[in-house]
Amino acid sequence: MSAMQGGPDAQLNRERQRESLTKVLGARTAKQLAKLSLETVEDLLRHYPRRYGDPGQLTDISQLKVGEHVTVMAQVRTATIRTMRSRGGAMLQATVTDGAHTLQLTFFAKRAGVLRMHEDKLRPGRTGLFTGTVGEYRGSRQLTHPDYLIVGVDAADEDEAVLEASRPIPFYPAAASVPTWRIGRSVRTVLDPLPDDYFADPIPTFLLERHGHFPLIPSLRDVHIPDDSAAWKRGRARFVYEEALILQSALARRRVAHELLTSVARPRRADAMAAAFDARLPFPLTQGQREVGEQIATDLERNTPMMRLLQGDVGAGKTVVALRAMLQVVDAGGQAALLAPTEVLAAQHLVTLRALMGPLAEGGMLTGAADATRVTLLTGSQGSKARRAALAEAASGAAGIVVGTHALLSETVQFADLGLVVVDEQHRFGVEQRDELRARGNRPPHMLVMTATPIPRTVAMTVFGDLETSVLAEKPAGRAEIATHVVPADNQAWLTRAWSRIREEVEAGRRAYVVCARIDGDTATESDDSANDAPDVDGALLAADGSLDLENGTPASTSKTPLASVSDTAAMLGARPELAGIGIGVMHGRLSAEAKAEAMGRFASGETPVLVSTTVIEVGVDVPQATVMVVLDADNFGISQLHQLRGRVGRAGHDSLCLLISRAEEGSVAQERLQALAATTDGFALAETDLELRREGDVLGAAQSGGRNSLRLLRVVRDAKVIDAARIDARELVADDPELTAYPALAQAIESWLEPAREDYLERS
């Protein structure tokens, strides 16, 4: 392995990267580029083209939509100047074409002479790039006062013109005031004079040679000023690998640092609660539960704090696996905390754990088993008396298991000996919340994070690459099949049949959920004001640069029809003749904890066998008699959320039904998602489909908010092999040199690209 990486020293390299564009390009140009958050030399050079055009490939003008900002490559057909008698002044009208369709270009001026410059450049037969907002005049689409560049004309000299006319044209993520070619010219102004060793390369030389990549500056020239398509593909491949190496090196360093921490080992006891719990289970553990349980038990017996991600599809039996781990810790003298994202789910966990444990959860009571402990609930809305009792049980150690929401993170909550933290639905918690709980105690507790939202392998190794991962792939016996159908929202006959089907299920002693995106129906944009209920839309959320926000974004559907609300839907169902005489309850995030508990109790008992709810019931809610799930405006939800909602039914062996009411158009991405959901109940297959449909992009860009230093080119589906290779390389580097002292440019890239908060996310998520 090579020694110190070549190039300028770390301080000089940082100064060169962070040099202000004002100094290099002047204040006027720098001010324009700042609108795209391009403020330093590195910002600009790392602003890669989105795509490349060939002068012979023209834009399909028929696809342009009125109101959108576009950059069009087209050929000039005509350009004429005429005087406007009615309003005075002159107008130039040009027509450009893609060979089949036309677009009008319109320029206005006080005098015809001002327009001669445009007329001279817009000669018939010339090809250009034209940027502007698409308008419409007398039935024809047009650009008014577009910014433009004529290929082979707007160049410094004849040689440059010939060269520009023959090579790929980069299209950059741009803005109305900063067209793509202005960005390209700025890039060339900065890049052209740089020698090949101006920046230190974050990729070690031996890895460049191993994978056949070019050094940094030549690769920047390949992507920004390519001689041919092979050049930009070569350069882009190098930067995809670079981003993967930086990410995997950050993960590898986190893994090594984590292994240096010490925790309290929690060995198994053969004659204690964990064994008694296994003996009293009314069903056999699946092979997967036994194997994963053994992995976790072995982790808990070590002095290094466990950091394990437990994946399991809806109904895979994660709760039992987590409870067995918690009991092992309690047997060893410690305590376990189970952190749930909502009070509804926390209360559900309390009921489930106590039911599973029976006398083992009745420590100190006459009915309790010999080695019993207590399971205590702690939430923010508890009454003062209940809260004081729960706090006392946690602090004294009487409660071996404490279940709660973010209230567990309060400074007033003390544990006698916190040995294990189980985080349910890890994606629902902020980084700081999870880290605060994990940092409790003199030594970090073991941590198990669970998710019922299957994570494709490529995402897991990219974002959770420093965690050990366990997967529960099989479902316990007794799970029923769930038939899923997509129902057009405008098909009244089908909707009537849906309400009739609910009545049939209720008369058979079953229950039905009806899910809405909003609480009230007074506005078309309102959503549940509870963070627990906010629609977690994970559809096609592409940013302007083509990257994807995996956690936040606009709804997947663009329908202007107001979304169904809990209040309106409950009233509508109450008036339906098909549901006459049937009790209808409501559930949403604005209800108090007591009201939520009452609503769930009435639903479970059958007093109100139809529950109209927001997505607050999405995760963990377990009512075995529920057999029907109706999701209104299903095209406004993503695959993973719909899969979670569907998992609320089919939990007690009764064949179940999921109806997805949709306004999605045929052939739309939203319709593809719904059809994929109807085709399978395999959550892992759906996760892969979801990833492919979303054309995912910047994984870390969604891990933390904002930031221009996010990953730009890496795609976890397309680049899985690159990520694999980079992971092997990164572990090799970090194993020999955990601080990467021999590779300061790589260490600096981790620091400046991912930022401390982003790198922390990798460890804590």
Distance between CA atoms of 440 and 143, rounded to whole angstroms?
61
pLDDT band at 312 (very low <50, low <70, confident <90, very high): confident
Catalogue the E-assigned strands of 531-645. Answer: 584-587, 610-613, 626-631
pLDDT band at 532 (very low <50, low <70, confident <90, very high): very low
Distance between CA atoms of 163 and 182, rounded to whole angstroms?
18
Domain assignments of the chain as residue spans, ordered by start? 55-167, 273-300+317-451, 482-680
Query: How many helices (H) and strands (E) in the chain?
Result: 27, 21
Looking from the CA of 458 toward its CB, the CA atoms found within 13 Å total 21
Strands 374-378, 399-404: pairing kind: parallel
CATH topology of 55-167 equal to that of 273-300+317-451?
no
Considering only CA atoms, which of 131, 138, 128 is closest in space to residue 98? 128
Distance between CA atoms of 371 and 87, rounded to whole angstroms?
94
Worst-scoring range by mean pLDDT, 38-47, 134-143, 277-286, 702-711?
Answer: 702-711
Q: What is the pLDDT of residues 239-295, one digit of tens each?
A: 999 999 998 998 888 888 877 888 999 999 988 899 999 998 888 898 999 999 999
Check: pTM over 0.85? Answer yes or no. no
Query: How big, in percent rounded to 5, are the helix, strand and coil portions of the chain?
Result: 40, 20, 40
Tokens of 693: 């449909």
∠379-383-386 over CA atoms, to 5°? 75
At 586 the pLDDT is 94
Mean pLDDT in residue range 473-485:
77
- Does 3.40.190.10 match the CATH number of domain 482-680? no
Considering only CA atoms, which of 546, 511, 524 is closest in space to residue 652? 511
pLDDT band at 156 (very low <50, low <70, confident <90, very high): low
Distance between CA atoms of 328 and 306, rounded to whole angstroms?
14
At 620 the pLDDT is 56
For helices 273-280 and 318-331, the axis angle rounded to 10 degrees is 150
Fold (topology level) of 273-300+317-451: Rossmann fold (3.40.50)
Q: Which residue has the higher pLDDT, 741 or 139?
A: 741
Assigned CATH for 55-167 = 2.40.50.140
Q: Is 201 helix (H, G, I), strand (E, B) or coil?
A: coil
The H or E element spanning position 669 is: helix 669-679
